Amino acid sequence: MPRPVGAGVLTIIGGFFVLIGGAAFAVLGLFFAIFGVVSRLFLLGLLVGVLILLMGVLMVALPSAHSVWGFLTICLAVASIPFAFGGLIVGFVLTLFGGILAVRWRRPVDRIINAEARVIPPPSG
């Protein structure tokens, strides 16, 4: 069964960068928590990174819903900008391209060659 492997790989690599950006955002939240400003908003970057990794795996595992995974990946890439510093920009770009490739992916067409045979009558005599 053909699968959108390129889209999945780009999304997974971008997801790792978003996880790094989310971890940096969480460390920033920890810094603010030291001064008394406590918010769970800083953990959303890690959640977005994990969800992007999940979308990349699902693209390869369940290619029948590639459009859904691609659309969700594009939405998560945009959400990574405020919550994970865009995955240090590299993660945003890779994830966005992976989502676009998943939406645009088409299953290869089976090439069937139909040939009509002519019926030649046997020689007389």
- Give a yes or no: residue 79 inside a domain: yes
Which range of residues forms the domain containing residue 26?
5-104
- Give a yes or no: residue 93 inside a domain: yes
- Give a yes or no: residue 109 inside a domain: no
- Give a yes or no: residue 123 inside a domain: no
> In this prediction, what percent of the chain has a pLDDT beyond 70?
97
- Give a yes or no: residue 64 inside a domain: yes
Q: Mean pLDDT over residues 36-43, rounded?
A: 84
- Give a yes or no: residue 125 inside a domain: no
Compute the mean pLDDT over every residue in the chain, rounded to the nearest whole number.
90
Tens of pLDDT, residues 77-120: 999 999 998 888 999 999 999 999 999 999 887 777 777 777 77
Q: How many domains is the chain partitioned into structurally?
A: 1
**CA count, 13 A, side-chain hemisphere, 33:** 12
What confidence tier does 68 reach under pLDDT thresholds 50, 70, 90?
very high
Pick 8 or 114 by higher pLDDT: 8
What is d(CA 63, CA 25) in angstroms, rounded to the nearest whole number? 32
